[in-house]
Amino acid sequence: MAGLWTAAPALAQSKGPSISGIYTCVTQDGRKLTSDRPIPECANREQRLLNTDGSTRRMVPPAMSPEEQAAAEARKRQQDNELALRQDAIRRDRNLLQRYKDEASHQRAREAALDDIRKAMQLSEQRLKDLSAERKPLQEETEFYKGKRLPFKLQHQLDTNEAAAAAQRESIENQRAEMVRLNRIFDDELGRLRRMWAGQPPGLPDKPAPSTATSSASPTVPPSGPASR
């Protein structure tokens, strides 16, 4: 019988919640409360978590309000976003270092990218010359119809010629804008590469380059013509 009495409390203890500490706090009206779990009456106040020997294990901060919880979550999202951006910047810079071992290899890549645009511009410029040559006899033919309405066929040929020439002029402007964009990208890359070649760790934010260094980072690129190698 004694064995049954001694086993029962042990069995009940094994099935009940394990007490890992003691929570204590003082309520707003001055009452001191103690519990084996966080005290609801002190949810908005600091609570002390004690070890079983009465020593302080840690201080439990007050529960956050919905507004504070939303602000904390917003800060966490911002920190996560900043971390992701940082990791992306590190990967980007490491890829640059793997792709370009020195400034000469980077310049070759710049010239190769610009060379395709130069060739496209040359084709557009040649097409403009051809269209101008095609338009000349059409313009001469209009001299026979001064003061009169042009025949439909002649007017259609003139309109078609002008539309094709306008398309080529727009293409040339777009190609020039693309050259500026590509040069800006290569300039930014070269600035980062120079800093990393000098020992700066990958992923650090870009710093404005001195005004005296911009001319060496961005070579003057003619609007057309064969690429210099």
Written as tens digits, the pLDDT of the chain (229 aa) is 344 333 333 333 334 344 468 999 999 899 999 999 898 888 888 999 999 888 999 998 888 778 888 888 899 999 999 999 999 999 999 999 999 999 999 999 999 999 999 999 999 999 999 999 999 999 999 998 888 899 999 999 999 999 999 999 999 999 999 999 999 999 999 999 999 999 999 988 866 555 444 444 444 444 444 333 3
49 forms beta bridges with 23, 58
C-alpha distance from residue 166 to each of 51, 124, 171, 176 (Å): 84, 11, 9, 15
pLDDT given at position 207 = 62
CA–CA gap between residue 76 and residue 182 (Å, rounded) = 36
CA–CA gap between residue 139 and residue 134 (Å, rounded) = 9
pLDDT given at position 53 = 86
pLDDT given at position 120 = 94
pLDDT given at position 69 = 81
Tokens encoding 173: 């402007």
pLDDT given at position 158 = 94
3-state secondary structure of 165: helix
Tokens encoding 127: 């097409």
Q: Which stretches of the chain are assigned E, i.e. beta strand?
A: 22-26, 32-35, 47-50, 56-60
pTM given for the model: 0.55
Tokens encoding 157: 């040929």
Q: Centre a 10 Å sphere on the Cβ of residue 172 and count the other Cβ atoms it contains.
A: 20
